Amino acid sequence: MDSSGTAERNTGNFSEPPKPDAARRSWRRRVLLAVAVLGLAGCVVVAGVLFWALRGVPWDEIADGSIAPVVVLESADGSPLVQEGPYQGAYTSLDAFPQHLIDAVLSIEDRRFYQHWGVDWRGIARAFVRNLDAGEVVQGGSTITQQLIKISYLERDRTYRRKIQEFVIAFWLESRLGKDQILTRYLNNIYLGAGATGVPAAARIYYDKEPGELDLAESATIAGLIIAPSVLNPIANAERAADRARVVLDAMAANGKITTEEAQAAKDSYAQLQPARPAARSGSWFADWAMREAREIAADYRGTINVATTLEPQLQTVADRAVRETLDAAGERAAGLQAALVALGPDGAVLAMVGGRDYQASTFNRAVDARRQPGSTFKTFVLFAALQAGIDPRALVPDEPITINGWTPENFGGRYYGLVPVYEAFVRSLNAATVVLAQEIGLAHVAAAAHDLGIDAELTETPALALGASEVTLLDLTGAYASILAGVAPVEPWGIDGFRTDETGQTFRIGPARQPDIDISPFQDEMIRLLSMVVEQGTGQAARIDGFAAGKTGTSQNYRDAWFVGFTENIVAGVWVGNDDDTPMQGVTGGSLPAEIWKALVEGTTADAIARTEAGDGAVAQACNVQACSRAYRSFRASDCSYQPFRGPRLLCER
């Protein structure tokens, strides 16, 4: 019993040590808890970083691929009008690109494009090793997907935030769009030098071709530009462009896309390969002018907007040549002079425009943006006001010295002719007689007559107004003469014929912003008769041609500006010659160089050169003045040219 009791007591005095399994479970729980806490903290940090990095990303725009519309200008015959500076061609589908172009781009930029998911870890590792061996960055690891994101949607600064965005968006974009759509967007949006964005633009600027017309050597050249477009483009450096293209061809051969024989044949063709800029570049001043309105139209759309303009390429070529050759032939007399020319159809459509002597030297458009004194071309408005006032052209007016408030107008050559008929004062461009006539009519009526015919400039109603002292633009002045030919006013110059959109598939007509609403036909015949007399026997004889021609010369004080504006049966043209700094010329008058340029233009023009086509490609065009409608109605919707009234369904805007 004692022993038994002792045993019981001993058992009660000693604690049983913990089992090994329980200790391990307790330690494991603590480790798992710590891992969970750290994991949660990590998730919070990652979520915070992603929220910080991805905040403000334009997800909808990225998915649509339509942050900004692409405006493509077309001349009247439907050919692309390629302006200087930034240019992007019409959006082109993947199947319209030649396969060798696609192979060239993938071989040199991302040969595993169809194997990765937006980020090529193998490519990154390979680039890291090569860069490490070289001791500098010689190869990048960005995929085409990442490049598309960088050029289209993200800021260009190299920051951690942008890099995070790039990686996340790359995976998202791959799952959202798929490979073909990503590649299509890339080919349409990559910058390729000389102002060209996208392969369609590069094909047009470098070779004057559609993408599908490119051969293997041309495709390799364009693909080679991606790495350094400003340095390697064939216009800036043909030799370096060829060297880079050979690298592309070797990569294509190594990638199994072409044979070594095909690669060598393409290399051999480089001796004959020359860039061929499109001839439509000669209309660059016009393109700059038309693009202002085109971008306003395109603001309501997404995708590609094909804008049909009124420019006639044949006539533009004639206009460029007329200005260049006439000034060159004048030699020292025309040294340093600038010139501008505008050619209109009878309805005011701008068929050709020259804004200066050399676009490469100066992009300033002297036909549109320069305001100069029109000289005696303004006397046409004095004549119009006289006819409106009921004055007979045979009525006599004194041509003799006159002083008004200390100002004395003088005739060219200093000679005066006494009493002369109104028509003679006009044909011979007599200053004193014109000022007397304007005073009799009233300067307010002269200014109103000019405004009626289409002059938008502010006109100062002083006696010198009759001799063209108030400044105007060549475009406005030429449009006013178009009103005389048309018999209605004002005929406002216009350059956008219509447009069509990928978004809606519709074709819209634009035309002039304002339709003529003043009937001047009662005075039309007399004005045309007197303007034709100016050419036949007056100051404009240098503009005489075999057929009908009418017009007026103008020379501002001290030979600072010289003008000739006139028309035939089917074309209205204005020419200005002068110095940009407003210094006097060496005896150049409106009846000399401007009249000679005008004659060269008209004589070089054929009927085919001014045969404008309708907007679009045969589709039914809906009349819609987008600019006027958008200003008139806040609810205006350009996609169907409608607006929402206060009550009832949407209505078609008919402004």
Q: How many angstroms separate the CA atoms of 531 and 512, rounded?
A: 26
Cβ neighbours for 69, distance < 8 A, ≥ 6 positions apart = 298, 299, 301, 302, 303, 304, 305
Q: How many angstroms separate the CA atoms of 155 and 157, rounded?
A: 6
Contact 565, 343 (CB under 8 A): no
Q: How many angstroms separate the CA atoms of 491 and 97, rounded?
A: 44
- Residue 122 has a pLDDT of 72
Structure-model confidence comparison of residues 119 and 386, the more confident one: 386
Percentage of the chain beyond pLDDT 70 is 81
Residue with tokens 């014109």: 434
Q: In the chain, helix, strand, coil percent, each to 5? A: 50, 15, 35
634 pLDDT tier (thresholds 50, 70, 90): confident
Mean of pLDDT over the chain: 85
Nearest alpha-carbon partner for 592 in 628, 553, 631: 553
For residue 128, pLDDT over 70 is answered with no
Contact 572, 482 (CB under 8 A): yes
Quick one: tokens of 251? 């990569």
Distance of CA 433 to the CA centre of its chain: 46
Query: Tens of pLDDT along 230-287?
Result: 899 888 888 899 999 999 999 999 999 999 999 999 998 886 777 776 664 556 899 9
Q: How many angstroms separate the CA atoms of 491 and 47, rounded?
A: 63
Cβ neighbours for 41, distance < 8 A, ≥ 6 positions apart = none
For residue 12, pLDDT over 60 is answered with no
- Residue 120 has a pLDDT of 73
pTM, to two decimals: 0.79
For residue 5, pLDDT over 70 is answered with no
Distance of CA 531 to the CA centre of its chain: 37
- Residue 545 has a pLDDT of 96
Q: What is the CATH number of domain 321-492+515-608?
A: 3.40.710.10
| pLDDT (mean) for 634-638 | 73
Q: How many angstroms separate the CA atoms of 398 and 260, rounded?
A: 89
Name the superfamily (CATH) of residues 89-277. Answer: Biosynthetic peptidoglycan transglycosylase-like (1.10.3810.10)
In this chain, the answer to whether the domains covering 89-277 and 321-492+515-608 adopt an identical fold is no
Structural domain boundaries of the chain? Answer: 26-55, 89-277, 321-492+515-608, 624-652
Residue 518, exposed/middle/buried by CB under 10 A (0-12, 13-18, 19+)? exposed
For residue 139, pLDDT over 50 is answered with no
Nearest alpha-carbon partner for 245 in 236, 227, 255: 227
For residue 501, the cross-strand partners are: 305
For residue 595, pLDDT over 60 is answered with yes
Largest CA distance in the chain: 166
Q: How many angstroms separate the CA atoms of 593 and 320, rounded?
A: 15
Distance of CA 654 to the CA centre of its chain: 27
Query: Tens of pLDDT along 291-314?
Result: 988 888 887 777 788 899 999 999
Q: How many angstroms separate the CA atoms of 16 and 585, rounded?
A: 119
- Residue 80 has a pLDDT of 84
The per-residue b/e assignment along 223-233, b for 16 or more CB within 10 angstroms, e otherwise, is bbbbeebeebb
Quick one: tokens of 338? 């600038």
Q: How many angstroms separate the CA atoms of 223 and 104, rounded?
A: 6
| pLDDT (mean) for 190-208 | 91
Q: How many angstroms separate the CA atoms of 248 and 222, rounded?
A: 10
Least trusted range by pLDDT, from 114-118, 119-123, 449-453: 119-123
Task: Characterize the bridge pairing of strands 304-309 and 70-74.
Answer: parallel
- Residue 547 has a pLDDT of 93
| pLDDT (mean) for 542-547 | 96
- Residue 176 has a pLDDT of 82
Nearest alpha-carbon partner for 254 in 122, 102, 106: 106
Ordered DSSP codes for 59-82:
HHHHHHT-SSPEEEEE-TTS-B--
Q: How many angstroms separate the CA atoms of 557 and 584, rounded?
A: 8
Q: How many angstroms separate the CA atoms of 108 and 263, rounded?
A: 14
Q: How many angstroms separate the CA atoms of 223 and 166, rounded?
A: 23
Q: How distant, in Å, are the alpha carbons of 263, 276, 383, 431 from that of 240?
A: 18, 17, 63, 62
178 pLDDT tier (thresholds 50, 70, 90): confident
- Strand, helix or coil for residue 566: strand
Is the peptide bond preceding residue 18 cis, with omega within 30 degrees of 0?
no
- Residue 7 has a pLDDT of 46
Of 18-32, 116-130, 532-546, the range with the highest mean pLDDT is 532-546
- Residue 343 has a pLDDT of 98
For residue 553, the cross-strand partners are: 564
Residue 2, exposed/middle/buried by CB under 10 A (0-12, 13-18, 19+)? exposed
Q: How many angstroms separate the CA atoms of 353 and 478, rounded?
A: 12
- Residue 220 has a pLDDT of 96
Residue 364, exposed/middle/buried by CB under 10 A (0-12, 13-18, 19+)? middle
For residue 575, pLDDT over 60 is answered with yes
- Residue 347 has a pLDDT of 94
Separate counts of helices (H) and strands (E) for the chain: 23, 18
Percentage of the chain beyond pLDDT 90 is 57
For residue 159, pLDDT over 70 is answered with no
Quick one: tokens of 211? 């993408």
Cβ neighbours for 461, distance < 8 A, ≥ 6 positions apart = 443, 444, 446, 447
Query: Tens of pLDDT along 372-428?
Result: 999 999 999 999 999 999 999 999 999 999 999 999 999 988 999 999 999 999 999
646 pLDDT tier (thresholds 50, 70, 90): confident
| pLDDT (mean) for 454-482 | 97
The H-assigned helical ranges of 331-442 are 379-388, 422-427, 431-441
For residue 92, pLDDT over 80 is answered with yes
- Residue 616 has a pLDDT of 41
Least trusted range by pLDDT, from 274-283, 514-523, 572-581: 274-283
For residue 591, pLDDT over 50 is answered with yes
For CA atoms 232, 233, 236, 238, the dihedral sign is positive
59 pLDDT tier (thresholds 50, 70, 90): low
Quick one: tokens of 426? 């006009």
Residue 539, exposed/middle/buried by CB under 10 A (0-12, 13-18, 19+)? buried
Ordered DSSP codes for 149-177:
HHHHTS-SS--HHHHHHHHHHHHHHHHHH
52 pLDDT tier (thresholds 50, 70, 90): very low
The H-assigned helical ranges of 156-237 are 160-177, 179-189, 199-207, 216-224, 229-232
Beginning with the edge strand found earlier in the chain, give each strand of the sheet holding 561-567 in spatial order. 350-354, 338-344, 572-578, 561-567, 550-555
Q: Could you tell me the end-to-end alpha-carbon distance of the chain, in angstroms, rounded to an integer? A: 122
The H-assigned helical ranges of 269-374 are 284-298, 313-330
Structure-model confidence comparison of residues 645 and 480, the more confident one: 480
